[in-house]
């Protein structure tokens, strides 16, 4: 979905074993941006657990328990019961957290972007690629910064005009 982010991830070899901490840190940064959309206290706890793990405040076994809990809670999310569908943003935010804890940083970023845009403007916003531009740019710049890159990226989205 975010082509520049995908390109940067390939360039820095984000998915290599050596970059596990970078994946976790980037996933954490993305999910913190949608934390306000989370509805389940257990998911919020899992996100906090990721932050604690990154700060070396908990051990790998405790972190593994958070990973398992986040995956279970994401798969059990009931979706939106509200008539306006705003719960869809919560579902996506929950999946963002589960993916962040699993070290799937790009998937976490994608879910977080969707949740953020959906939470701001509903279905109409997510159907418009321009709605993602700001978040996509932030994600590229965040990953570049975390990876020690000095570049700043500008996103050019394809025109949707016919």
pLDDT at residue number 48: 98
Is position 101 within any domain?
yes
pLDDT class for 138, splitting at 50, 70, 90?
A: very high
Owning domain of residue 40: 3-146
* Per-residue model confidence as pLDDT tens digits over 31-82: 999 999 999 999 999 999 999 999 999 999 999 999 999 999 998 865 555 5
Return d(Cα 71, Cα 73) in angstroms, integer: 6
* Per-residue model confidence as pLDDT tens digits over 100-128: 999 999 999 999 999 998 877 655 555 56
Looking at per-residue pLDDT, the higher value among 50 and 84 belongs to 50
How many distinct structural domains can be found in the chain?
Answer: 1
Is position 153 within any domain?
no
* Per-residue model confidence as pLDDT tens digits over 48-59: 999 999 999 999
Q: How many angstroms separate the Cα of 84 from the Cα of each of 14, 30, 116, 131, 139?
A: 37, 25, 16, 19, 28
CB contact at 8 A, 146 and 10: no
Return d(Cα 114, Cα 137) in angstroms, integer: 14
Is position 152 within any domain?
no
Say what the pTM is.
Answer: 0.85
CB contact at 8 A, 121 and 41: no
Is position 161 within any domain?
no
What token pair was written down for 131?
């709605």
């Amino acid at each position: 979905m975010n082509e520049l982010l995908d390109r940067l991830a390939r360039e820095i070899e984000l998915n290599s074993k050596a970059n596990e901490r970078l994946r976790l840190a980037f996933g954490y940064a993305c999910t913190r941006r949608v934390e306000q959309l989370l509805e389940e206290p257990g998911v919020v706890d899992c996100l906090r657990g990721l932050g604690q793990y990154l700060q070396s405040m908990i051990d790998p076994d405790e972190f593994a328990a958070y990973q398992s809990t986040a995956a279970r809670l994401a798969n059990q999310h009931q979706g939106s019961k509200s008539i306006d569908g705003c719960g869809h943003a919560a579902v996506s935010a929950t999946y963002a957290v589960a993916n962040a804890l699993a070290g799937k940083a790009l998937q976490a970023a994608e879910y977080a972007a969707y949740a953020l845009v959906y939470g701001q403007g509903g279905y109409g916003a997510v159907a418009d690629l321009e709605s993602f531009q700001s978040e996509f740019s932030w994600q590229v710049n965040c990953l570049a910064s975390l990876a020690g890159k000095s570049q700043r990226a500008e996103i050019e989205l394809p025109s949707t005009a016919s």
